[in-house]
Amino acid sequence: MSGNGQRGGIADEAPHLLLVDDDTRIRSLLSRFLSERGYRITSAASAQEALAKLAGLSFDLLILDVMMPGQSGLDLTRAVRKQSHVPILMLTALGDTKDRISGLEIGADDYMAKPFDPQELVLRIAGLLRRSQPAAGTAANGEDIRFGDFSFHSGRGELRRGDEVIRLTERERELLKILATQRGGAVSRLDLAGPEASGERAVDVQINRLRRKIEQDPANPLLLQTVRGSGYRLLVE
């Protein structure tokens, strides 16, 4: 899809979402619902089909069902994270806490439990897309914040160790921005969860995932520390 016009009433520059679910009815309902709200939608019935479409198209966000025959949504998330930090929203069956935590640990940015209110899905999507875009002017006004062997540019949302760029998910990038602005001050789990919060337990999982990227010993963190009874702090220079 290219050009500056509209197709079917949807602008070509509208966010492009990939919806992956083996349930034909869910794909159809969600595709229609999201299209009516201005999103461009491409759907896939399996992880294999999704990977084929990812190879040829660019997407702004992925919506993945966890339970699919063959490769699961978790398998697909692992494959995507090897090459991209596109925001990923996972759909899980109600009560599948283990799957939700596993998804966050391997790189998903958010999750929703089925059944869910479609309007809440729209709000979650909008939040993830908003966080994935730098705020106006931040590229010019951002600064390098240093901690340990790392530098984080708050405008670009870029983490480096020397000349090496460390790949971050959009959620990890958002957490670093919040923590870095406090310059060593404690940030509560509630504040880290943000307005589209999935729960404070999800924040703990995402912090642990981020620690694996910046700490020599994630079990005994020196840079991203837990503040007992409060939340977390990032020890910046």
Return the CATH number at 189: 1.10.10.10
Please give the single-letter amino acid code of residue 5: G
Q: Which of 132, 157, 190 is at the close of a domain?
A: 132
Q: How far apart are the first and last CA of the chain?
A: 45
Q: Which of 72, 98, 132 is at the close of a domain?
A: 132
- Does this model's pTM top 0.95? My answer is no
Q: Could you identify the residue written with the tokens 């069956």?
A: 93
Tokens coding 151? 């530098």
User: Domain residues for 207?
Assistant: 140-234
Q: Does residue 65 share a domain with residue 156?
A: no
pLDDT, tens digit only, all 237 positions of the chain: 333 344 456 666 789 999 999 999 999 999 999 999 999 999 999 999 999 999 888 899 999 999 898 999 999 999 998 888 889 999 987 666 777 788 888 888 888 888 889 899 999 899 888 877 654 443 334 578 888 899 888 777 888 988 888 888 888 888 898 898 887 888 888 888 865 545 677 888 889 989 999 999 999 999 999 998 888 999 987
Residue 1 lies in a domain: no
Q: Which of 84, 102, 132 is at the close of a domain?
A: 132
Q: How many beta carbons lie within 10 A of that of residue 195, not counting itself?
A: 7
